[in-house]
Structure formats: structure tokens, C-alpha cells
Amino acid sequence: MLRPTSFVTFFAIALVIPTASAVAQLSQLDQIQVAPPMRQVAAPSPTASVDELEKQGDELRSEKAYLDAIDYFHAALGKAPFSASIQNKLGICELLLQHYRDAGKSFEQAIKKDPQFSEAYNNLGVVEYERRKYRGAVKDYKKAITIAPSSPSAYSNLGAAYFAQKKFELASEMYMQALKLDPLIFERTSRAGIAAQMASPQDRAHYSYVLAKLYAKMGDSDHSLEYLRKAMEEGYKGVKDVYSDPEFATLRKDARFAELMKEKPPALPE
């Protein structure tokens, strides 16, 4: 079946119900036919090696041509059916396409092939998180951490799951651990996925405030001020706590803090 590679296009068609007499007058030339989408890359070669297929799949994924990448990873799995790594890459593409059921099955298969594959547990947790099955996500993230206790991504994801459950103290602890392992983790990770799951604008604002507090505790005033501003712009109602929370003790001595609080950035419209 032919299909597009780098994106999915949705067509909105306004339909008009014709009368019976009008239907009788329609000819083939009067009707609109949507041409089938054409593939932009060649189909996987049956003579290509596993390494070649996997490499091509990696390149297509980097180009966001997820559907074609899936074809190449499937072809690679046909020649290396016990590869947990390729199975995991297949699941990632399915996840990026929001095909959560398929992605979940792929990550489960990767785990069956390699029970100590922490990345697959972490990715399975992402599927559960995106489907708002937070208890399952917490379980998967904890398993990933048990296998790879130095994984900042797993701690960050676990923090997001706890946050979604409104277990803010636990979320803060996990975020802090993630920052200790990788001080730049929130710089490299888009907040879009987390923010999309927040139950309300206040939750998103609270999330920014929590990060501001964590950065302040670590002595990173620049990032703390950045997230504090975001919390205020997002309308965090508890922003006055910044004057009493001990984590902000040092930041309160920063002239930029006084300027920010005096400025009082207005909340952005939703």
C-alpha cells in the first residue's frame, strides 16, 4: 500500500447531498478523485543487509519520514527477528505517529527479546503516559530506573507521571534526580509533550514553578528566573510563595529577581 513519508495529510471535504435527478446527470468527469499518495523513497530492497536496512531506517526517522522508516525497520526485523534494538526503533516511529497501540506492542516485544532493555521500558512508559495511564507509566519508568539507575530521562519521565497524578513532592524529587544526572535535560527536552497532558493551565504554570524552584535549589539563577517568569506568564496563582520558599533564599538576593517581581509579567491568554 502506497503512502506518504514525512507527514500525514488530512483532507476536509464539504459534501452537498444532490437530488436524485442530479445524481443521474453526474458523469465520471464530474466526480473528484483523490490520487493515491506516492512513495518518496524506494521500498526496502530484498537483497539489502540488516545493517543497511537499519541505517536507512535511522536516516528516514531523522528526516521525520516515519512511515517509510517503519517499512525499513520491519524489513530489518524480517532478517533479524530477535533484535530488541530494531524493535525498539520501530516502536519509536509508531509512537511519534501517535500509533500508541502499535508502539506499545513493539516496546513489549523489545522487552521480551531483551528483558534488561531499560530504554524499551522507558518508551513503554511514554506510551502509557500519553494514553493517560499514569499508574502503568510509573511502573514502567521505575523498572527502567531499576535496570539503568543513571538514566536522567527515566527520572524526568517518572517525575512527569507523578506530576500528572498531582504527587508534586515525588515529582520534584524525580526532577531533582534527573537534573543531578543531566543539568541540561530540560533544555534538550521539549515541554510540549508534558504540557499537553496537564489537566489545566494552572497545572502547566505549577510545573514551571516547580522547575524554577529546582533550579534555584541547584544555584542556577538564570534558569530559575527563566522558569519563574514562565510560571507568572502562565498565571501561577501561588507565585507569592517565592518570598517564603527556602529554595529561593539566594535568588531573592539577585537584583534580577527584584526586577522580575516588580515587572509582574501579565498572564498570557490561553
pLDDT tens sequence across 133-188: 999 999 999 999 999 999 999 999 999 999 999 999 999 999 999 999 998 888 76
Query: What is the torsional sign of CA 16, 21, 27, 30?
Result: negative
Q: In the numeric block, which cell numbers belong to residue 111?
A: 522487552
Whether residue 196 has pLDDT greater than 60: no
Instruction: For residue 17, tell me if it sits in a domain.
Output: no
Instruction: For residue 257, tell me if it sits in a domain.
Output: no
Instruction: For residue 87, tell me if it sits in a domain.
Output: yes
Instruction: For residue 4, tell me if it sits in a domain.
Output: no
What pLDDT was estimated at residue 266? 74
Q: Rounded to an integer, what distance in angstroms lies between the CA atom of residue 144 and that of residue 139?
A: 9
pLDDT tens sequence across 1-16: 444 444 333 333 343 4
Indicate which CATH number applies to the domain containing 82. Answer: 1.25.40.10
Q: Rounded to an integer, what distance in angstroms lies between the CA atom of residue 138 and that of residue 140?
A: 6
- Amino acid identity of 58? D
Whether residue 118 has pLDDT greater than 90: yes
Calculate the alpha carbon distances from 32 to 15, 17, 35, 141, 231 in Å: 12, 15, 10, 49, 50
* Helices (H), ranges, the chain: 20-25, 50-62, 66-79, 84-96, 100-113, 118-130, 134-147, 152-164, 168-181, 185-188, 192-197, 201-217, 221-233, 255-263
Instruction: For residue 240, tell me if it sits in a domain.
Output: no
Instruction: For residue 79, tell me if it sits in a domain.
Output: yes
Q: Model-level pTM?
A: 0.76
The confidence band for 30, taking pLDDT boundaries of 50, 70 and 90, is low
Instruction: For residue 110, tell me if it sits in a domain.
Output: yes
The domain in which residue 57 lies consists of 48-115
Q: How many domains does the chain have?
A: 1
Instruction: For residue 86, tell me if it sits in a domain.
Output: yes
| CA nearest neighbour of 212 among 204, 220, 200 | 220
